[in-house]
Amino acid sequence: MLKKSSLVLWGVVLFVAWNALLLFFLWTRPPAFDDHSHLTEEVIRLAQDAELELEHQKDLLRQIHRAVRGLLDNRLHYRPSREHFPIIVSQDCGHEETARVIASYGEAVMHIKQPDLSDISVPTDHRKFQGYYKIARHYRWALSQVFRTFQYQAAIVVEDDLEVAPDFFEYFQAAFPLLLADPSLWCISAWNDNGKEQMVEAGRPELLYHKDFFPGLGWLLLSELWDELEPKWPRAFWDDWMRQPEQRRSRSCIRPEVSRTMTFGRKGVSHGQFFDQYLKFIKLNDRFVPFTQLDLSYLKKEEYERSFLPKVYGAPELRVEELQGNQRRELGTVRVQYSSRDSFKAFAKALGVMDDLKSGVPRAGYRGIVSFLYRGRRVYLAPPSDWTGYDPSWS
Protein backbone atom coordinates (compact mmCIF):
# COMPACT_ATOMS: atom_id res chain seq x y z
CA MET A 1 0.00 0.00 0.00
CA LEU A 2 1.33 3.40 -0.97
CA LYS A 3 1.84 6.10 1.60
CA LYS A 4 0.78 9.74 1.10
CA SER A 5 3.30 11.89 -0.82
CA SER A 6 3.73 15.57 -0.10
CA LEU A 7 4.72 16.55 -3.65
CA VAL A 8 2.39 19.14 -5.23
CA LEU A 9 4.56 20.30 -8.11
CA TRP A 10 6.26 23.04 -6.11
CA GLY A 11 8.43 23.85 -9.08
CA VAL A 12 5.51 25.32 -11.01
CA VAL A 13 4.21 27.19 -7.99
CA LEU A 14 7.58 28.71 -7.22
CA PHE A 15 8.17 29.67 -10.84
CA VAL A 16 4.89 31.63 -10.95
CA ALA A 17 5.43 33.13 -7.51
CA TRP A 18 8.93 34.35 -8.23
CA ASN A 19 7.92 35.92 -11.52
CA ALA A 20 5.07 37.71 -9.78
CA LEU A 21 7.53 38.95 -7.21
CA LEU A 22 9.77 40.33 -9.95
CA LEU A 23 6.86 42.23 -11.48
CA PHE A 24 6.03 43.62 -8.07
CA PHE A 25 9.59 44.91 -7.71
CA LEU A 26 9.53 46.53 -11.16
CA TRP A 27 6.13 48.17 -10.74
CA THR A 28 6.39 49.43 -7.18
CA ARG A 29 10.02 50.47 -6.68
CA PRO A 30 10.89 54.01 -7.80
CA PRO A 31 13.41 54.07 -10.62
CA ALA A 32 16.81 55.02 -9.26
CA PHE A 33 20.07 54.60 -11.06
CA ASP A 34 21.84 53.38 -7.93
CA ASP A 35 19.29 50.56 -7.51
CA HIS A 36 19.88 48.98 -10.92
CA SER A 37 22.87 46.91 -9.85
CA HIS A 38 21.13 45.67 -6.69
CA LEU A 39 17.96 44.78 -8.59
CA THR A 40 19.96 42.90 -11.23
CA GLU A 41 21.69 40.85 -8.55
CA GLU A 42 18.32 40.09 -6.92
CA VAL A 43 16.84 38.94 -10.25
CA ILE A 44 19.83 36.69 -10.92
CA ARG A 45 19.65 35.18 -7.43
CA LEU A 46 15.91 34.48 -7.71
CA ALA A 47 16.36 32.92 -11.13
CA GLN A 48 19.13 30.66 -9.83
CA ASP A 49 17.02 29.62 -6.84
CA ALA A 50 14.10 28.83 -9.14
CA GLU A 51 16.31 26.72 -11.38
CA LEU A 52 17.69 24.78 -8.41
CA GLU A 53 14.19 24.15 -7.04
CA LEU A 54 12.93 22.92 -10.42
CA GLU A 55 15.88 20.52 -10.66
CA HIS A 56 15.11 19.32 -7.14
CA GLN A 57 11.49 18.60 -8.10
CA LYS A 58 12.59 16.75 -11.24
CA ASP A 59 14.89 14.63 -9.09
CA LEU A 60 12.02 13.84 -6.70
CA LEU A 61 9.84 12.75 -9.61
CA ARG A 62 12.63 10.48 -10.84
CA GLN A 63 12.89 9.00 -7.34
CA ILE A 64 9.15 8.30 -7.31
CA HIS A 65 9.42 6.55 -10.68
CA ARG A 66 12.28 4.39 -9.43
CA ALA A 67 10.65 3.60 -6.08
CA VAL A 68 7.22 2.64 -7.44
CA ARG A 69 8.64 0.68 -10.33
CA GLY A 70 11.16 -0.98 -8.05
CA LEU A 71 8.58 -2.29 -5.61
CA LEU A 72 6.21 -3.49 -8.34
CA ASP A 73 8.97 -5.06 -10.40
CA ASN A 74 10.21 -6.89 -7.31
CA ARG A 75 6.81 -8.46 -6.65
CA LEU A 76 6.07 -9.23 -10.29
CA HIS A 77 9.49 -10.78 -10.84
CA TYR A 78 8.90 -13.46 -8.19
CA ARG A 79 5.15 -13.91 -8.60
CA PRO A 80 4.57 -17.42 -9.98
CA SER A 81 1.02 -16.84 -11.21
CA ARG A 82 -1.26 -13.85 -11.76
CA GLU A 83 -4.30 -16.07 -11.20
CA HIS A 84 -3.12 -17.42 -7.84
CA PHE A 85 -1.52 -14.17 -6.68
CA PRO A 86 -3.36 -11.14 -8.06
CA ILE A 87 -1.60 -7.97 -6.91
CA ILE A 88 -3.77 -5.12 -5.68
CA VAL A 89 -2.04 -1.77 -5.30
CA SER A 90 -3.94 0.45 -2.88
CA GLN A 91 -2.94 4.11 -3.23
CA ASP A 92 -3.53 6.44 -0.32
CA CYS A 93 -2.64 9.76 -1.91
CA GLY A 94 -3.78 11.94 -4.78
CA HIS A 95 -0.38 12.08 -6.42
CA GLU A 96 -0.98 11.78 -10.16
CA GLU A 97 2.58 10.87 -11.11
CA THR A 98 2.45 7.88 -8.78
CA ALA A 99 -0.91 6.88 -10.25
CA ARG A 100 0.49 7.10 -13.79
CA VAL A 101 3.40 4.81 -12.94
CA ILE A 102 1.04 2.22 -11.44
CA ALA A 103 -1.33 2.51 -14.43
CA SER A 104 1.57 1.82 -16.80
CA TYR A 105 1.59 -1.80 -15.57
CA GLY A 106 -1.81 -2.37 -17.15
CA GLU A 107 -3.51 -5.64 -16.25
CA ALA A 108 -0.46 -6.96 -14.39
CA VAL A 109 -1.81 -5.29 -11.23
CA MET A 110 -5.14 -4.02 -9.91
CA HIS A 111 -5.05 -0.37 -8.90
CA ILE A 112 -7.45 1.00 -6.29
CA LYS A 113 -7.45 4.47 -4.73
CA GLN A 114 -8.48 5.41 -1.23
CA PRO A 115 -11.26 7.99 -1.83
CA ASP A 116 -10.99 9.80 1.51
CA LEU A 117 -7.80 11.87 1.61
CA SER A 118 -9.05 14.39 4.15
CA ASP A 119 -7.27 15.26 7.37
CA ILE A 120 -8.52 13.39 10.42
CA SER A 121 -9.67 15.10 13.58
CA VAL A 122 -7.36 13.89 16.33
CA PRO A 123 -6.88 14.78 20.01
CA THR A 124 -4.66 17.80 20.55
CA ASP A 125 -1.85 15.73 22.03
CA HIS A 126 -1.96 13.42 18.98
CA ARG A 127 -1.47 16.04 16.27
CA LYS A 128 2.02 14.77 15.57
CA PHE A 129 0.53 11.30 15.06
CA GLN A 130 -1.82 12.31 12.24
CA GLY A 131 0.04 9.93 9.92
CA TYR A 132 -0.78 6.92 12.11
CA TYR A 133 -4.48 7.79 11.92
CA LYS A 134 -4.35 7.98 8.14
CA ILE A 135 -2.53 4.66 7.91
CA ALA A 136 -5.15 2.94 10.08
CA ARG A 137 -7.92 4.44 7.93
CA HIS A 138 -6.20 3.24 4.78
CA TYR A 139 -5.73 -0.30 6.11
CA ARG A 140 -9.37 -0.52 7.04
CA TRP A 141 -10.54 0.71 3.65
CA ALA A 142 -8.09 -1.41 1.63
CA LEU A 143 -8.73 -4.65 3.53
CA SER A 144 -12.46 -4.09 3.26
CA GLN A 145 -12.04 -3.74 -0.50
CA VAL A 146 -10.09 -7.00 -0.64
CA PHE A 147 -12.50 -9.01 1.49
CA ARG A 148 -15.84 -7.29 0.91
CA THR A 149 -15.73 -5.90 -2.62
CA PHE A 150 -13.43 -8.47 -4.28
CA GLN A 151 -14.40 -11.25 -1.84
CA TYR A 152 -11.01 -12.92 -1.59
CA GLN A 153 -10.54 -15.65 0.98
CA ALA A 154 -7.10 -14.47 2.07
CA ALA A 155 -4.67 -11.61 1.55
CA ILE A 156 -0.95 -11.02 1.97
CA VAL A 157 -0.31 -7.49 3.21
CA VAL A 158 2.97 -5.99 1.98
CA GLU A 159 3.79 -2.34 2.53
CA ASP A 160 5.48 -0.20 -0.11
CA ASP A 161 8.83 -0.06 1.69
CA LEU A 162 9.40 -3.83 1.62
CA GLU A 163 11.43 -5.96 -0.74
CA VAL A 164 10.41 -9.63 -1.00
CA ALA A 165 12.56 -12.75 -1.23
CA PRO A 166 12.70 -15.14 -4.22
CA ASP A 167 10.58 -17.73 -2.39
CA PHE A 168 8.17 -15.21 -0.82
CA PHE A 169 5.12 -16.51 -2.69
CA GLU A 170 6.21 -20.15 -2.38
CA TYR A 171 6.44 -19.77 1.40
CA PHE A 172 2.96 -18.30 1.75
CA GLN A 173 1.42 -20.81 -0.61
CA ALA A 174 2.82 -23.68 1.46
CA ALA A 175 1.82 -22.19 4.83
CA PHE A 176 -1.69 -21.19 3.75
CA PRO A 177 -3.23 -24.63 4.46
CA LEU A 178 -1.87 -24.47 8.02
CA LEU A 179 -3.71 -21.22 8.61
CA LEU A 180 -6.91 -22.75 7.27
CA ALA A 181 -6.65 -25.86 9.41
CA ASP A 182 -5.31 -24.60 12.75
CA PRO A 183 -7.47 -22.18 14.80
CA SER A 184 -4.52 -21.52 17.12
CA LEU A 185 -2.90 -19.57 14.26
CA TRP A 186 -4.03 -16.15 13.13
CA CYS A 187 -1.38 -15.17 10.60
CA ILE A 188 1.57 -16.30 8.54
CA SER A 189 4.49 -13.90 8.82
CA ALA A 190 7.38 -13.22 6.46
CA TRP A 191 9.35 -11.44 9.19
CA ASN A 192 11.80 -12.37 11.93
CA ASP A 193 12.20 -9.44 14.35
CA ASN A 194 15.62 -10.75 15.35
CA GLY A 195 16.64 -11.68 11.83
CA LYS A 196 19.99 -9.92 11.69
CA GLU A 197 22.47 -11.80 9.53
CA GLN A 198 24.68 -12.87 12.45
CA MET A 199 21.63 -14.04 14.46
CA VAL A 200 20.10 -16.51 11.97
CA GLU A 201 21.13 -19.78 10.37
CA ALA A 202 21.36 -18.47 6.82
CA GLY A 203 22.35 -21.96 5.68
CA ARG A 204 18.99 -23.33 6.86
CA PRO A 205 16.40 -20.99 5.32
CA GLU A 206 13.77 -23.74 5.53
CA LEU A 207 13.48 -23.37 9.33
CA LEU A 208 10.08 -22.13 10.51
CA TYR A 209 8.78 -21.32 14.00
CA HIS A 210 5.72 -20.22 15.93
CA LYS A 211 5.65 -16.75 17.47
CA ASP A 212 3.13 -14.90 19.62
CA PHE A 213 4.28 -11.40 18.69
CA PHE A 214 2.26 -9.92 15.82
CA PRO A 215 4.85 -8.78 13.28
CA GLY A 216 3.40 -6.88 10.33
CA LEU A 217 5.99 -6.35 7.57
CA GLY A 218 4.52 -8.96 5.24
CA TRP A 219 1.75 -11.16 6.64
CA LEU A 220 -1.11 -13.38 5.51
CA LEU A 221 -4.59 -13.25 7.03
CA LEU A 222 -7.93 -14.90 6.27
CA SER A 223 -11.24 -13.18 5.57
CA GLU A 224 -12.61 -14.73 8.79
CA LEU A 225 -10.06 -12.77 10.79
CA TRP A 226 -11.10 -9.57 9.04
CA ASP A 227 -14.73 -10.33 9.94
CA GLU A 228 -13.57 -10.36 13.55
CA LEU A 229 -11.33 -7.28 13.42
CA GLU A 230 -13.15 -4.87 11.14
CA PRO A 231 -15.99 -3.90 13.51
CA LYS A 232 -13.54 -2.81 16.19
CA TRP A 233 -10.68 -1.58 13.99
CA PRO A 234 -8.76 1.23 15.77
CA ARG A 235 -8.43 4.82 14.61
CA ALA A 236 -4.63 4.70 14.92
CA PHE A 237 -1.66 2.52 15.88
CA TRP A 238 -3.29 -0.55 14.37
CA ASP A 239 -0.22 -2.82 14.69
CA ASP A 240 0.19 -2.26 18.44
CA TRP A 241 -3.56 -2.72 18.79
CA MET A 242 -3.19 -6.13 17.11
CA ARG A 243 -0.66 -7.06 19.79
CA GLN A 244 -3.10 -6.57 22.63
CA PRO A 245 -4.47 -9.73 24.32
CA GLU A 246 -8.04 -8.84 23.33
CA GLN A 247 -7.13 -9.15 19.66
CA ARG A 248 -4.47 -11.87 19.74
CA ARG A 249 -6.56 -14.14 21.95
CA SER A 250 -3.60 -16.49 22.62
CA ARG A 251 -3.14 -17.17 18.91
CA SER A 252 0.26 -17.24 17.24
CA CYS A 253 1.80 -16.78 13.80
CA ILE A 254 4.24 -18.83 11.76
CA ARG A 255 7.53 -17.04 11.05
CA PRO A 256 10.73 -17.97 9.20
CA GLU A 257 14.25 -18.21 10.57
CA VAL A 258 15.42 -15.98 7.70
CA SER A 259 13.07 -13.14 6.81
CA ARG A 260 11.23 -13.19 3.49
CA THR A 261 10.89 -9.41 3.49
CA MET A 262 13.36 -6.60 4.08
CA THR A 263 12.45 -3.00 4.82
CA PHE A 264 14.24 -0.04 3.29
CA GLY A 265 11.78 2.47 4.78
CA ARG A 266 13.86 4.46 7.21
CA LYS A 267 11.73 7.55 6.63
CA GLY A 268 8.09 7.29 7.61
CA VAL A 269 5.61 8.10 10.32
CA SER A 270 7.78 6.27 12.88
CA HIS A 271 10.76 8.51 11.99
CA GLY A 272 13.16 5.59 11.68
CA GLN A 273 12.39 4.03 15.06
CA PHE A 274 14.48 0.81 15.36
CA PHE A 275 15.69 1.16 11.75
CA ASP A 276 19.31 2.13 12.36
CA GLN A 277 19.77 -0.29 15.24
CA TYR A 278 17.90 -3.35 13.93
CA LEU A 279 15.83 -3.18 10.77
CA LYS A 280 18.49 -2.26 8.25
CA PHE A 281 20.54 -5.30 9.34
CA ILE A 282 17.75 -7.85 8.77
CA LYS A 283 18.89 -10.50 6.31
CA LEU A 284 16.62 -11.11 3.34
CA ASN A 285 16.61 -14.75 2.26
CA ASP A 286 18.31 -15.24 -1.09
CA ARG A 287 17.89 -19.00 -1.52
CA PHE A 288 14.72 -20.51 -2.96
CA VAL A 289 13.19 -23.10 -0.66
CA PRO A 290 10.56 -25.39 -2.28
CA PHE A 291 8.22 -25.14 0.71
CA THR A 292 5.26 -26.64 -1.17
CA GLN A 293 7.24 -29.87 -1.47
CA LEU A 294 8.06 -30.02 2.25
CA ASP A 295 6.04 -31.58 5.06
CA LEU A 296 5.02 -28.69 7.32
CA SER A 297 2.72 -30.71 9.57
CA TYR A 298 5.24 -30.31 12.41
CA LEU A 299 4.00 -26.73 12.71
CA LYS A 300 0.56 -27.78 13.93
CA LYS A 301 0.31 -26.57 17.52
CA GLU A 302 0.34 -29.92 19.33
CA GLU A 303 3.15 -31.38 17.25
CA TYR A 304 5.18 -28.18 17.40
CA GLU A 305 5.06 -27.95 21.18
CA ARG A 306 5.78 -31.65 21.53
CA SER A 307 9.04 -31.07 19.64
CA PHE A 308 10.02 -27.47 20.38
CA LEU A 309 9.55 -27.26 24.16
CA PRO A 310 11.76 -30.27 24.99
CA LYS A 311 14.50 -28.76 22.80
CA VAL A 312 14.33 -25.54 24.77
CA TYR A 313 14.13 -26.93 28.30
CA GLY A 314 16.44 -29.82 27.55
CA ALA A 315 19.19 -27.38 26.59
CA PRO A 316 21.77 -26.70 29.33
CA GLU A 317 21.40 -23.36 31.10
CA LEU A 318 24.15 -20.81 30.72
CA ARG A 319 24.69 -17.38 32.22
CA VAL A 320 24.84 -14.35 29.94
CA GLU A 321 28.39 -13.62 31.07
CA GLU A 322 29.49 -17.11 30.01
CA LEU A 323 27.90 -16.63 26.60
CA GLN A 324 29.54 -13.27 26.15
CA GLY A 325 32.87 -14.81 27.08
CA ASN A 326 32.31 -17.57 24.49
CA GLN A 327 32.67 -20.21 27.22
CA ARG A 328 31.36 -23.80 27.33
CA ARG A 329 31.38 -24.17 23.54
CA GLU A 330 31.11 -27.93 23.98
CA LEU A 331 27.51 -27.51 25.16
CA GLY A 332 26.26 -26.44 21.74
CA THR A 333 22.68 -25.20 22.00
CA VAL A 334 22.06 -23.45 25.33
CA ARG A 335 19.33 -21.70 27.30
CA VAL A 336 19.46 -18.39 29.14
CA GLN A 337 16.68 -18.11 31.70
CA TYR A 338 14.96 -14.89 32.73
CA SER A 339 12.38 -14.51 35.47
CA SER A 340 11.24 -10.89 35.32
CA ARG A 341 10.66 -8.03 32.94
CA ASP A 342 13.91 -6.39 33.98
CA SER A 343 15.99 -9.53 33.60
CA PHE A 344 14.53 -10.18 30.15
CA LYS A 345 15.34 -6.67 28.99
CA ALA A 346 18.86 -6.78 30.46
CA PHE A 347 19.67 -10.18 28.92
CA ALA A 348 18.11 -9.27 25.56
CA LYS A 349 20.12 -6.06 25.34
CA ALA A 350 23.33 -7.85 26.31
CA LEU A 351 22.80 -10.47 23.58
CA GLY A 352 21.65 -8.11 20.83
CA VAL A 353 18.02 -9.24 20.85
CA MET A 354 15.24 -6.67 20.54
CA ASP A 355 14.32 -5.94 24.14
CA ASP A 356 10.95 -4.23 23.83
CA LEU A 357 7.74 -5.95 24.93
CA LYS A 358 4.16 -5.37 23.80
CA SER A 359 1.52 -6.52 26.28
CA GLY A 360 4.26 -8.63 27.82
CA VAL A 361 5.14 -10.44 24.58
CA PRO A 362 8.77 -10.29 23.37
CA ARG A 363 9.45 -9.84 19.69
CA ALA A 364 9.64 -13.19 17.88
CA GLY A 365 8.78 -14.91 21.16
CA TYR A 366 6.67 -18.04 21.56
CA ARG A 367 5.51 -18.92 25.08
CA GLY A 368 8.03 -16.29 26.16
CA ILE A 369 10.89 -18.06 24.35
CA VAL A 370 13.08 -16.16 21.90
CA SER A 371 15.27 -18.28 19.64
CA PHE A 372 18.37 -16.86 17.90
CA LEU A 373 22.05 -17.41 17.17
CA TYR A 374 24.77 -15.87 19.31
CA ARG A 375 28.34 -16.24 18.13
CA GLY A 376 27.35 -19.13 15.94
CA ARG A 377 25.36 -21.23 18.40
CA ARG A 378 21.66 -21.56 19.10
CA VAL A 379 20.42 -19.75 22.18
CA TYR A 380 16.96 -19.86 23.74
CA LEU A 381 16.18 -16.85 25.92
CA ALA A 382 13.39 -18.40 27.94
CA PRO A 383 11.24 -18.09 31.07
CA PRO A 384 11.13 -20.95 33.61
CA SER A 385 9.57 -24.20 32.41
CA ASP A 386 6.52 -23.63 34.63
CA TRP A 387 5.65 -20.47 32.67
CA THR A 388 1.93 -19.70 33.02
CA GLY A 389 1.40 -16.91 30.49
CA TYR A 390 2.26 -13.35 29.56
CA ASP A 391 1.98 -10.48 31.99
CA PRO A 392 0.55 -7.47 30.06
CA SER A 393 2.16 -5.11 32.57
CA TRP A 394 5.54 -6.07 31.11
CA SER A 395 5.76 -3.27 28.55
> Which residues carry out catalysis?
239
Cα angle: 183, vertex 185, 190; to 5 degrees: 155
Residue 192 φ then ψ, to 5°: -115, 115
Query: What beta strand segments (E) does the chain contain?
Result: 88-91, 110-113, 154-157, 162-164, 185-189, 208-211, 219-222, 252-256, 261-263, 334-337, 357-358, 361-362, 370-374, 377-382
Rounded CA separation 174/169 (Å): 9
Q: Which residues pair with 337 in a beta bridge?
A: 382
- Which three-class secondary structure string do you get for 242-307? HCCHHHHCCCEEEEECCECEEECCCCCCCCCCCCCCCHHHECECCCCCCHHHCCCHHHCHHHHHHH
- Between the alpha carbon of residue 127 and those of residues 94, 155, 224, 290, the distances in Å are 22, 31, 34, 47
Cα torsion through 57, 60, 61, 67, rounded to 10: 180
Structural contact between residues 241 and 234, judged by C-beta atoms closer than 8 angstroms: yes
> Rg of the Cα trace of the chain?
26
- Read off φ and ψ for residue 42, nearest 5 degrees: -65, -40
Residue type, 355: D
